[in-house]
Structure 1
């Protein structure tokens, strides 16, 4: 845990949010600035700066994040989804705790 990390505070229950799913190693909650009808963040319970750091430190936890993302898309949408992981500020990462964005619930346009 990182005392200054927003997502660590959410995982610890210090900040309330709309949780949609959880596992032993990850939690999923709605994004406060959604870009699609279903926009959920899936974060590991353990603190790692980004998904690359998570993959290096705990590949099983990364697999669990992806598995929970798939469960969320199946539960909240039709199982079709876009999974986005931003790594670094130039890629758009603003919270430096590994996380994946699940976008679903509509026809998503290309990049």
Structure 2
């Protein structure tokens, strides 16, 4: 997608603090971190959100999970959170599938 900021990061048009990259994925530091370690992991392929993933994306989705575990280990994170927001009501603000890998602090679910 020509106007997608994450597509532009994935193809090198926009600079980011990339910490992991392969032919399918890019992981980079979040510009507005919500934890001491806050990494965004995106597929190079543009998928709007998790609900937009197709059966043929299963291997890619699994690869994201494995990359998250590898990155967490490299960052020395024993405990971490991996989150994918799906849709505006869930807090998704960039409509390119991305996972937030966060660690380095204790996480609690808000009481509701």
Whichever of the two has the greater Rg, that structure is 2
Quote the Cα distance in structure 2 between the aligned partners of 1:51 and 1:57.
Answer: 13
Alignment of 1:27-66 (within 5 A): 27-66=26-65
Partner of 1:7: 6
Decide which moves more: 93-102 or 72-81: 72-81
d(CA) in 1 for partners of 2:79, 2:54: 24
Partner-residue secondary structure (3-state), 2:53:
helix
**Distance in 2 (alpha carbons) for counterparts of 1:28 and 1:77:** 16
Q: TM-score, normalised by structure 1?
A: 0.92
**TM-score, scaled relative to structure 2:** 0.91
Cα distance per residue 1:40-93 (max 9 Å; x no partner): 000001000012222544111111111111111111132321011000000000
Unaligned runs of 5+ in 2: none
CA contact (8 A) 1:51 1:62 kept: no
> For this pair of structures, how many residues does the alignment match?
110
CA distance in 2, matches of 1:94, 1:32: 13
The SS at the match of 1:107 is: coil
